[in-house]
Amino acid sequence: MKVIRAKSAGFCWGVERAIDIAREYAHQGRYPVYTDGPLIHNRQMMDVLTQEGIREVGDYRSQSPLNVSSEGQDQAVMVVRAHGISPERRAYLKSLGMEFRDATCPDVGIIAGKVRLHAKKGFATVIFGDPKHPEVIGLLGYAENRGHVITSIADIDALPPLGEKVCMVSQSTMFTDEFEKLAAHLRARYPAVEIFDTICGATKDRQSDVVELAKQGCEAIVVIGGRHSANTVKLAKLVERQGLPCFHVETAAELDFPTIQRYQVVGVTAGASTPAFLIDEVCEKLAKLP
């Protein structure tokens, strides 16, 4: 079997930065190093970090109160996840009395800055994204109670009157074509809307690479990444848009070898939170197939 690995597969720079921040404290002997919810959306990598002394507390959406021991808190560190948090959550985490370190992806930080700046100017904010995703929950916190999350044209049509000042941003991991379609529909309703394409470059690169894998003759594509990883799920959907069979797995153990060995050329890509060791293992096992 011929295996073609996407150039962009694996950690984006924002995820790698968050991991490096947490690891730096752990390797300095600081303990415990807490993360508010999973630092990244990859269970296997979180297991590795746990073995290194990095402890996930809280919940997936970074909303629940944290049960952290006061013992040894002079050495404890709270690291904010790559997806970012709301201002209210930030204040809460800082109130816990331990060292606070923000590992929010800078690209997400830029989106939050745009939302915050426009909210201060009296704008209502429309966010294209998953309302249950921690990134979107965090962004809403900067909208000063004038934020609205949309995923479809029907959602735009159902919006209440927003006034003359409206801006639109996107969760960083959405489809560009869907964002453009929704932005055009919103502009038809609010001609003066200020629209910011805040889908990150890493997401666009991964989506472009899926299309490139199809052009290179891949008969099927394996997408590696967590079930809760928004950008990984989007990659799987994009494979299906190309009319190709998609195998979304978290690890090589989930590969359906009897089915996948029917293909002679298989592409491999991975979400932004997928570590290289998982991608390497999948590629190695596929390459051994006849």
Closest by CA position to 222, among listed 51, 29, 1, 33? 1
CA distance 54 to 77: 10
For the stretch 90-123, pLDDT in tens is 999 999 989 999 999 999 999 999 999 999 999 9
Asked whether residue 3 carries a pLDDT value surpassing 60, the answer given is yes
Query: What local confidence, expressed as pLDDT, does residue 71 receive?
Result: 57
Query: What local confidence, expressed as pLDDT, does residue 289 receive?
Result: 93
CA distance 53 to 206: 31
Task: Give the distance from CA 76 to its chain's centroid.
Answer: 26
- pTM, whole model, 2 decimals? 0.93
% pLDDT > 90, the chain: 91
Task: Tell me whether residue 135 is one of the annotated catalytic residues.
Answer: yes
CA distance 19 to 5: 23
DSSP string, 36-88: ES-SSS-HHHHHHHHHTTEEEES-TTS-SPP----TTTTS-EEEE-TT---HH
Query: What local confidence, expressed as pLDDT, does residue 228 receive?
Result: 84
Q: Is 172 helix (H, G, I), strand (E, B) or coil?
A: coil
For the stretch 187-239, pLDDT in tens is 999 999 999 999 999 999 999 999 999 999 999 999 999 988 999 999 999 99
Asked whether residue 70 carries a pLDDT value surpassing 90, the answer given is no
- β-partners of residue 245 are none
Query: What local confidence, expressed as pLDDT, does residue 209 receive?
Result: 97
Topology adopted by domain 107-195: Cobalt-precorrin-4 Transmethylase; domain 1 (3.40.1010)
Write down the architecture of domain 2-10+201-287 according to CATH: 3-Layer(aba) Sandwich (3.40)
Which of 135, 250, 254, 284 is labelled catalytic? 135
| Mean per-residue pLDDT, 162-172 | 98
CA distance 133 to 60: 9
How sure is the predictor about 130, in pLDDT bands with cuts at 50, 70 and 90? very high
Residue keyed to tokens 């799987």 = 236
Is the CA virtual torsion 36, 40, 44, 49 positive or negative?
A: negative
Three-state SS for 179-210 is HHHHHHHHHHHCCCCEECCCCCHHHHHHHHHH
Write down the architecture of domain 13-104 according to CATH: 3-Layer(aba) Sandwich (3.40)
Q: Is 25 helix (H, G, I), strand (E, B) or coil?
A: helix
**What is the bridge-based pairing of β-strands 124-128 and 147-150?**
parallel
Helix (H) or strand (E) holding 156: helix 153-157
Q: Is 213 helix (H, G, I), strand (E, B) or coil?
A: helix
107-195: same fold as 13-104?
A: no
Q: Where are the domains of the chain?
A: 2-10+201-287, 13-104, 107-195
